């Protein structure tokens, strides 16, 4: 039974920032499809949290870097909900080991680029084509695409160059799809989180604690929380900044603010 609600697909929503975004969009009245690589048992608590906000949920165990998995996911969303209104490209990985750009391997580069850039790029292509079809069938349809990039799109970390290049690429991807999809009324936005407390940053927690406390790298001197990012995604998905596309909201506690 289809609910008639707007439907959001959030990649990497099994935990962390993606889960917070999925919960927030559920609270906004969307049904939510979650795409992640974990087996379903490992994300059952996450799905309950999303469902607890009133959403119908669908779990797609799929790898965003696989073309077959992307197609399978969109087919499952169509089968379950019959529509897709919001795509959030959130899934992403850091390099398995941080390595100096003078030594890092091509293998790590390929892995990070496939998951963080190539996968979202072609998932967006497929989702955008589906949104265009929906728009042609229903002039009132209003889609939206949100890319979770990073301050690493503009902040150079030579100890994880492939990650920075993937996020800089995603930033151009935001502009490209925004330019192409304007005629169909589909805005494309980018969020650039700074230092957010999730599993991804668990291994560098003490290092960043020190940088925040002793070096004063932030203007707002605390770790970011997944909810800080999620609220911005909800604002975008609601259409609060409708006369705007290809734009970036940086959620970094002032990290990238130039100061003297
Ligand atoms: N945590 C931060 O400080 C921070 C800062 C800037 C940007 N980001 C970005 O935010 C996004 C979410 O990060 P997070 O901190 O929540 O990380 P996280 O590792 O806690 O969660 C990422 C989720 O993505 C999933 N995922 C990984 N590879 C996947 C794949 N191939 N296919 C589908 N799902 C996959 C993981 O299983 C996990 O559930 C990432 O794109 C990350 O680069 C995070």
Question: pLDDT by residue (tens digit) across 73-84?
Answer: 999 999 999 999
Number of helices (H), then strands (E), in the chain = 8, 7
Residue 259 lies inside a defined structural domain of this protein: no
| Total domains, the chain | 1
Pocket of ligand 1 (CB under 6 A): 11-12, 14-18, 35-38, 63-65, 90-93, 115, 148, 150, 193, 195-196, 198-201
Global pTM value: 0.98
Range of the domain at 188: 7-251
Structure confidence at residue 217 as a pLDDT band (50, 70, 90) = very high
Structure confidence at residue 3 as a pLDDT band (50, 70, 90) = confident
pLDDT tens digit sequence for 6-49: 999 999 999 999 999 999 999 999 999 999 999 999 999 999 99
Is pLDDT of 1 > 90? no
Give the mean pLDDT of the chain: 97
d(CA 69, CA 23): 23
Q: Buried b vs exposed e over 218-234: b needs ≥16 C-beta within 10 Å?
A: beeeebbebebbbebbb
d(CA 178, CA 189): 8
Residue 170 lies inside a defined structural domain of this protein: yes
Residue 2 lies inside a defined structural domain of this protein: no
Active-site positions read 163
CATH at residue 55: 3.40.50.720
Span from the CA of 92 to the centroid of ligand 1 (angstroms): 4
Residue 260 lies inside a defined structural domain of this protein: no
Residues contacting 99, CB < 8 A, separation 6+? 105, 108, 159, 160
Residue 80 lies inside a defined structural domain of this protein: yes
Residue 70 lies inside a defined structural domain of this protein: yes
């Amino acid at each position: 039974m289809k609910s008639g609600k707007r439907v959001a697909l959030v990649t990497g929503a099994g935990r962390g920032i993606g889960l917070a975004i999925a919960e927030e969009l559920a609270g906004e009245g969307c049904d939510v499809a979650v795409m992640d690589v974990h087996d379903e048992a490992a994300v059952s608590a996450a799905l309950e949290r999303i469902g607890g906000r009133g959403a119908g949920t669908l779990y797609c165990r799929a790898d965003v870097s696989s073309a077959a998995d992307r197609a399978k996911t969109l087919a499952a969303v169509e089968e379950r909900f019959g529509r897709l209104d919001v795509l959030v490209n959130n899934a992403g990985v850091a390099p398995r080991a941080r390595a100096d750009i003078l030594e890092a391997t091509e293998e790590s580069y390929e892995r990070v680029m496939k998951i963080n850039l190539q996968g979202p790029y072609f998932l967006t292509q497929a989702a955008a084509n589906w949104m265009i079809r929906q728009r042609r069938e229903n002039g009132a349809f209003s889609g939206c695409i949100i890319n979770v990039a990073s301050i690493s799109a503009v902040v150079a970390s030579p100890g994880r160059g492939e990650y920075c290049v993937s996020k800089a690429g995603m930033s151009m991807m935001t502009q490209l799809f925004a330019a192409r999809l304007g005629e169909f009324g589909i805005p494309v936005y980018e969020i650039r989180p700074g230092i957010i407390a999730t599993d991804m940053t668990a291994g560098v927690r003490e290092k960043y604690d020190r940088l925040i406390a002793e070096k004063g790298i932030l203007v707002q001197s605390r770790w970011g929380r997944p909810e800080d990012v999620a609220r911005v995604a909800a604002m975008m998905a609601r259409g609060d900044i409708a006369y705007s596309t290809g734009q970036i909201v940086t959620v970094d506690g002032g990290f990238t603010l130039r100061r003297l």
